[in-house]
Amino acid sequence: MAAIAFIGLGNMGGPMAANLVGAGHAVAGFDLDPAALDAARAAGVTAAASAAEAAAGADVVVTMLPAGQHLVAAYEGGLVAAAPEGALFIDSSTVDVASSRRAHAFAAARGMSTVDAPVSGGVAGAVAGTLTFMAGGAPEAVERARPILAALGRRVVACGGPGAGQAAKLCNNMVLGIAMVGISEAFVLAEKLGLDHQALFDVVSTSSGQCWALTNHCPVPGPVPASAANRAYAPGFAAALMLKDLTLARDAADSVGADTALGRHARDIFAAFAEGGGAALDYSAVIEAVRRG
Ligand code: NAD
């Protein structure tokens, strides 16, 4: 069992840290928010007074922070310096590829092993320990991370070198965002053509238009009882987070000169929806923006 520092104990990090405790690891945690720290303490995490205090003596340092600037600030602001040389750093936040690579390089230059391991599966997956990790880093670092991540998820996909996990995550979520807009357009077109929601679902879910977003997160109430559409679009996966991921995808595409016209268009649709009051709703509520036109 390992001594693990866990930095960022929010909606995702809190339950992940609790699952590491449940697997028998000694977890020292830190969060800027005292309420998040208290909740983690109640789950068996040892509350530290700072990120550096949590990292002192750690074999493994896991971060689950909002965005790239928080990651870089934490790494360069004392987290890496506080950890023993040779510690394994796992960043599971969703961040831009450039910040991820900067964090890798900073920690590696100080003798650390580093993995970027963003997740798919959301808060429900974090609680249930069923996340999928997309891992980037040296093969030996990824192999070293596997037994730790096994307590948190079902799959670890090795994607390549530093930042490759983040690249995979933003490509995947760009597909998801485009798919949800496409499905929403189909339902809105069906409504205007007088076609019943259930009939459209029954056809598309068993035909060539079938996709995960439709069969899991159907944007209209009825066909998929567990979808957010049945509970007034309470998230789920908030539209604000989808906007974050589509913006990361757009910026990454710009940085390498990739033409991702549909990803960019989906991002703009989610931006208008979020700015119009939809940010806290489930991302499938974007159908309301499509309906408004
Ligand atoms: P969150 O806002 O609930 O949690 C982030 C936590 O980090 C907060 O508690 C905040 O206080 C803390 N924090 C910020 N800066 C800090 C610092 N310097 N030191 C210590 N703590 C600090 O966000 P979340 O939903 O848990 O998401 C975390 C990451 O996971 C994000 O990058 C997000 O994009 C990604 N993610 C979220 C989901 C989801 O469904 N919520 C799914 C997949 C990936």
pLDDT per residue over 141-166, tens digit each? 999 999 999 999 999 999 999 999 99
Residue 198, pLDDT score: 98
For the chain, residues classed under CATH 1.10.1040.10 are 167-292
- Cβ–ligand 1 contact at 66 (below 6 Å): yes
The yes-or-no answer on residue 169 being catalytic is yes
- Cβ–ligand 1 contact at 99 (below 6 Å): no
CA of 160 to the centre of ligand 1 (A): 24
Q: Is the pLDDT of residue 101 over 90?
A: yes
Q: Is the pLDDT of residue 103 over 90?
A: yes
Q: Is the pLDDT of residue 31 over 90?
A: yes
Residue 236, pLDDT score: 86
Q: Which CATH number fits domain 3-161: 3.40.50.300, 3.40.50.720, 3.40.50.2300, 3.40.50.2000?
A: 3.40.50.720
ipTM exceeds 0.90, yes or no = yes
Residue to mutate, 61, 65, 70, ligand 1, most ligand atoms under 8 Å from C-beta: 65
* Active-site annotation holder among 102, 169, 217, 267: 169
Which atom of ligand 1 is nearest the CA belonging to 123?
Answer: 40
Which residue's C-alpha comes closest to atom 8 of ligand 1?
10
Query: String of b and e for 184-199 (b: at least 16 CB within 10 Å)?
Result: bebbbebeeeeeebee
The C-alpha R_g of the chain, in whole angstroms, comes to 20
Superfamily of domain 167-292: N-(1-d-carboxylethyl)-l-norvaline Dehydrogenase; domain 2 (1.10.1040.10)
pLDDT single digits (tens) 183-237: 999 999 999 999 999 999 999 999 999 999 999 999 999 999 999 999 999 998 9
The C-alpha angle with vertex 168 and arms to 162 and 172, in degrees rounded to 5, equals 165
- Cβ–ligand 1 contact at 283 (below 6 Å): no
Nearest alpha-carbon partner for 185 in 171, 170, 204, 169: 204
Strands 119-120 and 60-63: unpaired
Using the structure block, give the residue that is written with the tokens 């040892």.
46
Q: Is the pTM of this model over 0.90?
A: yes
> What distance in Å separates the CA atoms of residue 260 and residue 270, rounded to the nearest whole number?
15
Residue 10, pLDDT score: 96
CB 255 within 8 A of CB 98: yes
Nearest alpha-carbon partner for 16 in 148, 126, 131: 126
For the chain, residues classed under CATH 3.40.50.720 are 3-161
- Cβ–ligand 1 contact at 17 (below 6 Å): no
What is each CA distance from 60 to 11, 119, 265, 289, in whole angstroms? 21, 18, 40, 43
One-letter amino acid for residue 95 of the chain: V
Q: Based on DSSP, count helices (H) and strands (E) in the chain, helices before strands.
A: 14, 9
CA of 45 to the centre of ligand 1 (A): 17
Q: Is the pLDDT of residue 25 over 90?
A: yes
> What distance in Å separates the CA atoms of residue 126 and residue 151, rounded to the nearest whole number?
10
